[in-house]
C-alpha cells in the first residue's frame, strides 16, 4: 500500500474528520438533504455529468421494498486514476457519501463495485468498513437514528471497461456478462434486481459529505455558473509532476499545463481514450461543462509524440473493450482501427477516410451505450486536429522523429 501523501485542495482534499458528514446529515430531514444537493448543482463526476439531485429525487420518490446505492468504482478510462486516490486516501468521504445517499433516498443497502485491477485496495476498504461499523456509522440505527439502517459491501469486478456504464455494471453485479441494458427504464426505477438503484461515481459521492457540512451555496462559490465545485484531474503523460490534482472547474488547459510542469506540449487528450484531443492552438479553452466537459483524465503529449500511434493505441483499446452486443460499436471500432492501419501503411484514400468519419458519426448516434457513442471521438478529433502532421508530414518525412 502506498504511503498517503499530503494533498491540498479546496473541497475533496481539505480537512475532514470521520463521521462529521453523516452526523450533520442525520440532524436534517431527507428533503433538506435533497434540496441542499440540488442547491449545490452537483453533477455526476464520472463523465456524463447528470445532475445528482435529479437522480436522487427520483430514487427517493420511488416506492419499493428495497432500494440500492451503488458506488461505481470501475474507473477504466485510460489515464484515469483519481478514484484510486480517493479509495486509498479518503475512504471516509466515499463511504459517508454512500450512507448519506442511503438516508436521502431511503435505501438500506450499499454496494461498492471495485474494478478487478484494484483488488489490492479491497482489504483496506473492508477494514475501513469494519471501523465504521464499530463507530456505528454503518449498521443498525446509525448514530442513534431510530430506523435508519445501512450497510455496505464490496463487489469485485473482473476487468471489463464497459462495466463502468451503469446498466452494464448492474448486469455484472447480477452475475451476467457486463452488457449494457436498454434505457429506459433507468436504474433509478428498475436497477439492481429490478429495484430502484442509484449508481454514483466515487468522486460524486465524496463531494456529498462536504456539501452537507458546508451547504450547497458554499459549494457554488467554487467553479463556474454551470459547473459548480472542484474537479479531480488525473494527469499523466509528458510532464514533470503527474498526479491527481483538485482544481476548480473553469481552469484553462494552459494553466493546467503550467502547474504540472509540462513543456513543449503539442496536444492534450481530455477525457481519456473516449475524449477529445486538443491541439496547442486551443489551449486557452476551459475545462467545464460550458466548454470541454470531462471525467478528469488528462494525458499530455509533447512535440516528439506520433499522434497516429497514439490514435492506434486508443482504437486497439476500444476494439478489445467493446462488449460486442451492438453492431455499430462492434464492427465500427474494428473499421476505424483498420483505417488507422491504412494510414500507417499509406494505403488509404481520402474518400475512404471521409466515409470512416461518417461511420464514426453514425456510431455516436446508433451505439447502445456510452462506449460506442464516445469511442469515435478520438478518431475524429485526432484526424481533424493533426491532419498536417499525419498526412502532410509537415515536420519532414520522418514525421518529426
Partner 1 sequence: MLVFEKTSLAKEIEQLIEKYGNSRSSLLSILQEIQANHRYISDYAQQEIARHLCIQPVEVYSVISFYAFLNSEPKGRNIVRICKTISCDMKNKMSIVKAVERELGIKIGETTSDNKFTIEYTNCLGLCDEGPAMAINERVFTRLTPQTAVENLHKVVG
144 binds partner 1 (CB under 8 A): no
Binding mask 261-290 for partner 1 (x = CB under 8 A): --------x---x-----------------
Contact 340, 331 (CB under 8 A): no
Closest CA to 272 of 230, 239, 227, 237: 237
| Grid coordinates given for 308 | 497516429
Count residues binding partner 1 (CB under 8 A): 50
* Closest distance to partner 1 from the beta carbon of 122 (Å): 9
Figure out which of the listed residues 137, 299, 307, 336 binds partner 1, where binding follows CB under 8 A.
299
How many CA atoms within 13 Å lie on the side-chain side of 86? 33
| Grid coordinates given for 287 | 475545462
> Which of left, alpha, beta for 38 (phi over 0: left; psi -120 to 50: alpha)?
alpha
18 binds partner 1 (CB under 8 A): no
Rounded Cα–Cα distance for residues 32 and 223 (Å): 23
Figure out which of the listed residues 125, 129, 160, 308 binds partner 1, where binding follows CB under 8 A.
160
Figure out which of the listed residues 117, 135, 255, 344 binds partner 1, where binding follows CB under 8 A.
117
Figure out which of the listed residues 8, 120, 147, 284 binds partner 1, where binding follows CB under 8 A.
120
* Closest distance to partner 1 from the beta carbon of 210 (Å): 24
175 binds partner 1 (CB under 8 A): yes
The neighbour count for residue 65, using CB atoms within 10 Å, is 5
> Strands (DSSP E) along 218-377, which ranges?
230-237, 243-248, 265-270, 276-279, 297-302
Q: Roughly what angle, to the nearest 10 degrees, separates helices 350-366 and 327-344?
A: 160
383 binds partner 1 (CB under 8 A): no
| Grid coordinates given for 214 | 458546508
Closest CA to 336 of 372, 304, 292: 372
> Strands (DSSP E) along 3-90, which ranges?
68-73
Figure out which of the listed residues 36, 75, 166, 246 binds partner 1, where binding follows CB under 8 A.
75
310 binds partner 1 (CB under 8 A): yes
Sole window of 22-30, 124-132, 217-225, 312-320 interacting with partner 1 (rule: CB under 8 A): 312-320
20 binds partner 1 (CB under 8 A): no
The H-assigned helical ranges of 245-326 are 253-259, 307-321
Figure out which of the listed residues 23, 67, 115, 266 binds partner 1, where binding follows CB under 8 A.
115
246 binds partner 1 (CB under 8 A): no
Figure out which of the listed residues 5, 134, 177, 183 binds partner 1, where binding follows CB under 8 A.
177
Figure out which of the listed residues 40, 190, 234, 333 binds partner 1, where binding follows CB under 8 A.
234
149 binds partner 1 (CB under 8 A): no
388 binds partner 1 (CB under 8 A): no
156 binds partner 1 (CB under 8 A): yes
| Beta carbon nearer to partner 1, 53 or 234 | 234
| Grid coordinates given for 107 | 435505501
The H-assigned helical ranges of 302-374 are 307-321, 327-344, 350-366, 370-374
23 binds partner 1 (CB under 8 A): no
**Residues sharing a CB contact under 8 Å with residue 158, sequence separation 6 or more, in sequence order:** 116
Closest CA to 139 of 116, 108, 107: 108
173 binds partner 1 (CB under 8 A): yes
Question: Residue numbers of the site for partner 1 (CB under 8 A)?
Answer: 75-81, 83-84, 115-120, 155-161, 172-178, 193, 234-238, 242-244, 269, 273, 299, 301, 305, 310, 313-314, 317, 320-321, 323
Amino acid at each position: 500500500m502506498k504511503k498517503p501523501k499530503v494533498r491540498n485542495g479546496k473541497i475533496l482534499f481539505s480537512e475532514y474528520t470521520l463521521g462529521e458528514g453523516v452526523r450533520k446529515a442525520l440532524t436534517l430531514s431527507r428533503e433538506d438533504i435533497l434540496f441542499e444537493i440540488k442547491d449545490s448543482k452537483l453533477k455526476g463526476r464520472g463523465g456524463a455529468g447528470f445532475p445528482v439531485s435529479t437522480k436522487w429525487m427520483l430514487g427517493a420518490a420511488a416506492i419499493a421494498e428495497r432500494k440500492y446505492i451503488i458506488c461505481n468504482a470501475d474507473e477504466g478510462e485510460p489515464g484515469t486514476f483519481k478514484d484510486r486516490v480517493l479509495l486509498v486516501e479518503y475512504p471516509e468521504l466515499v463511504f459517508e457519501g454512500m450512507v448519506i445517499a442511503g438516508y436521502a433516498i431511503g435505501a438500506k443497502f450499499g454496494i461498492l463495485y471495485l474494478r478487478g485491477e484494484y483488488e489490492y485496495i479491497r482489504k483496506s476498504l473492508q477494514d475501513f468498513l469494519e471501523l465504521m461499523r464499530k463507530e456505528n456509522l454503518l449498521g443498525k440505527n446509525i448514530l442513534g437514528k431510530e430506523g435508519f439502517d445501512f450497510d455496505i459491501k464490496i463487489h469485485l469486478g473482473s476487468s471489463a471497461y464497459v462495466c463502468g456504464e451503469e446498466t452494464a455494471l448492474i448486469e455484472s453485479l447480477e452475475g451476467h456478462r457486463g452488457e449494457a441494458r436498454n434505457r429506459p427504464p433507468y436504474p433509478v426505477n428498475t436497477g439492481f434486481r429490478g429495484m430502484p438503484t442509484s449508481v454514483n461515481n466515487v468522486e460524486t459521492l465524496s463531494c456529498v459529505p462536504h456539501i452537507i457540512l458546508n451547504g450547497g451555496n458554499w459549494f457554488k462559490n467554487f467553479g463556474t455558473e454551470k459547473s459548480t465545485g472542484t474537479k479531480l484531474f488525473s494527469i499523466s503523460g509528458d510532464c514533470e509532476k503527474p498526479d491527481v490534482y483538485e482544481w476548480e472547474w473553469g481552469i484553462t488547459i494552459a494553466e493546467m499545463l503550467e502547474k504540472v510542469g509540462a513543456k513543449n506540449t503539442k496536444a492534450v487528450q481530455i477525457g481519456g481514450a473516449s475524449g477529445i484531443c486538443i491541439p496547442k492552438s486551443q489551449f486557452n479553452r476551459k475545462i467545464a461543462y460550458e466548454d470541454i466537459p470531462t471525467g478528469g483524465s488528462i494525458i499530455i503529449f509533447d512535440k516528439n509524440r506520433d499522434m497516429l500511434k497514439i490514435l492506434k493505441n486508443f482504437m486497439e483499446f476500444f476494439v478489445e473493450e467493446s462488449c460486442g452486443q451492438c453492431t455499430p460499436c462492434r464492427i465500427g471500432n474494428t473499421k476505424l482501427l483498420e483505417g488507422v492501419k491504412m494510414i500507417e501503411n499509406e494505403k488509404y484514400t481520402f474518400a475512404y477516410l471521409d466515409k470512416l468519419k461518417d461511420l464514426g458519426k453514425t456510431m455516436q448516434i446508433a451505439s447502445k451505450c456510452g462506449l460506442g457513442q464516445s469511442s469515435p471521438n478520438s478518431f475524429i478529433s485526432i484526424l481533424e486536429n493533426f491532419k498536417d502532421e499525419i498526412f502532410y508530414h509537415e515536420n519532414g518525412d520522418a514525421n518529426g522523429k
